[in-house]
Structure 1
Amino acid sequence: MPTVLIIDDNAAVAVALDVLFSLHDIASISAASPEEGLAILGREPVDLVIQDMNFTADTTSGEEGVALFREIRRRHPDLPVILLTAWTHLDAAVDLVKLGAADYLPKPWNDERLLATVTNLVELGQANRALGTRLQREHKARRELEQRFDLRGLVWQDPATERVLHLACQVARADVPVLITGPNGAGKERIADIIQANSQVSGGPFVVLNCGALPSELIEAELFGADAGAYTGAAKAREGKFEAADGGTLFLDEIGNLPPAGQMKLLRVLETGRFERLGSNRERQVKVRVISATNADLKAMIRAGTFREDLYYRLNLIELHLPPLAARPGDILPLARAFLAPGKTLHPASEAALLAHPWPGNVRELKNVMARAGLLSSGATVQVADLGLPPASLPAQEAEPDRDAIVQALGRAGGVVAQAASELGLSRQALYRRMERLGIARP
């Protein structure tokens, strides 16, 4: 039950407010002087203060109320204060509102307005305290991760990223294959690098092969190497990525692009650590930690017969899913500032535009946008126009999901707004605005 402190030397005021609040499940404590009120604040938890502007020493100027408010603000800067005023000191109350007072109400007050103000301020204060507690927990978790593990300078703040990092660091020491899933440009290679840096083979090589960047006929040669004459243009023997990664980690990006023959050979290497170069019968032995990544639906590929099920389960002993950037909104501004040229800052309107953008290209797109903005901005501050972000152009029925669609999406997401927003094709901030407009309570 929320608690309100009433500081007023008129006992009738305290009694009237106590009766009013008790009818609406709000507790009250009364103090007859500024000194008594400050003493109560020093020893008891209070959600809100209602204070008079005049006490026995001075009944007209409001100076005592000003002094009391300033002392409350000094000792408890986040505590909301409502002022009870008379016409003789209305100007003083207005000045205090400018200094941070939550509201001022004339005597005699309107019960409905007072209750509405108190209820809103109490709910806001409780929400802010809960947010502060959550942010403290998140900051502590970030600090512990940064102290215990080598995060390779990764910039992040969002809880969704923290969960991925926590699991990545947990499995890093285990010598098991890891599959990282998520959209292109989300940062899967950075997660693989962090796993390598905290693994038992952190001193070994970290070798990267993007299976989607090579013709299918060359992927096997890149993975396993080739003897001279093994294929057209192979004038001399070449070492493959497995040999180069011996004693370390091999990161295979876009693993879904591996052709069937390469899948079979990869499965054998994972099971035995042995392979042959293309065009060679000599078996080679390596010890390599394999981390793979994909943006493809490997289970659908298995059903279609284009990806081996046994290889999938061999690669997927541990799966880490890295959400798209739009589902990690807490990362957007820290990353944007990190990508921005030295000496440049973001205008608040630019920050709002970055948060509202859906980022279909994820972190890679954000990096490119900030590089371009740094070049185009004429001053030290990056304006919205410098970002070059496209205006929203969705049809109204797509841009404005109705109330039922939003409620159903929130239900499917278990109340997680970021997940519901991603399903609806909106940013989290855009979904919040629609919820407020449609009167949908925040989870």
Structure 2
Amino acid sequence: MSRSRRRILLTASLASVCALTASACSGGGSGTGSAGDGKGTVEFWSMPYWIGQDDKVKELVDEFNKSQDDVKVNLTQLEWKDGRDKIKQAVAAGKGPDVWLMNNGLELDYLKAGSLASLDQLGYTKADTDKFLDLAQVNEYEKKLYGAPLYFDVGVMLYRTDVLKKYGIDKPPATWDELKSSAATITDKSGGDVHGWQFKGMDDHVNAINSTWESFLCGAGGSLTSADYSKSTQKSAAGRTTMNYMKSFYDDKISPVGTSALNGFIDSKVAMFPFFQSVIANVEMGGAKTEGKWAVAPMPKGPKSGCSMVGGHSLVASSSGKELKAAGTFMKWLASPERSAQYMDFKGIFPYQPSKVGAEARATYDKKIKSDPNWTAIQEQLGRNTPDLVLQDRHGWATRWEAQKSSIVAGVNGQMSVDEALGALDDEVGKALSTGK
């Protein structure tokens, strides 16, 4: 069964559950849950979000369980390849977890079905939520927050300092024009042995084309949908500018379709590539191949701006849970400033305003910022980004992210014309937006 077809069935399942229970479908957080007395067992389902260390989530849950007596958390750890679908199927069947991991921006199906408890239902106060970065607005729906961010990701550029120096480039490119010129210089001077640039997602990790494409579309001033989220709007002047720019790297033989951006970068065969900053954890696993030989820069600015895709993960809770207060206690702990400062170890962006957190979390945050100069570039990129693209992306996102993998790749590598690729994308996503109304 295709992912698009599966999405339709699961959405229908969520709606059916809503109809068969007391849950209302007109707004989020309107399930049959109760606050409870703050004591009880919480079922938590999660993918291993601590990059490179799958056992870390279990260690954190064990730490929470040892920290107090009122709430016990049972962890079910899922795999990234099918974890989201398993959660959705369980929620639709009325057998889902109390708390689970969800991408920042949240999924519209859950919000429309009223399957999620709002943060205020979980015991969060305005003083709690005012500490979040403004980007936490990506988890808003009908003026309420439904997700507690663990960390944010933003699209940045990684570059090999040793390779750029070898080919006479003294600083990372700051604009699209500089990027193409620098990448061409490296590819040409190396005789094609080193490729100056690779768009992550134009290799075997095709899913990455989604964040890559949306980062560059953002820089061109593009949008994913109309202001009312009813139409897909990628076949636009900004969409054409973006795709033609990306396509030119392959037309001009600067970049090779199929070469792994990450592996090529680690092996010094790719000089520069874009992705979420949390990929740093993977680069660091290169050991001697990468140590002291690379750095991070903000995304090269496009015709309109230097913004990029925003990602990361949040915790959400079921609106039909019987112990909402207990679920909130766990969420506040796992997504607290103290734990979020720890997530900076895998380069997850701190989701709180540092000036508004306690002394312990602030000290950990400051120490990590000072210990790694790459945080300067990451923070600059963070300041360029807004919630806008993420809020658009939640409308038809499953269909869009599947469609972009085929249409964007086909348009960039020349299998389809630019207008055909963008038109096919808008047609497919448009159907999902229409169905979702």
TM class, shorter-length? under 0.3
Q: TM-score by structure 2 length?
A: 0.22
Q: Select the structure with the greater relative contact order (CA < 8 A; seq sep ≥ 6).
A: 2
Q: Could you say which structure has the larger radius of gyration?
A: 1
Q: TM-score by structure 1 length?
A: 0.21
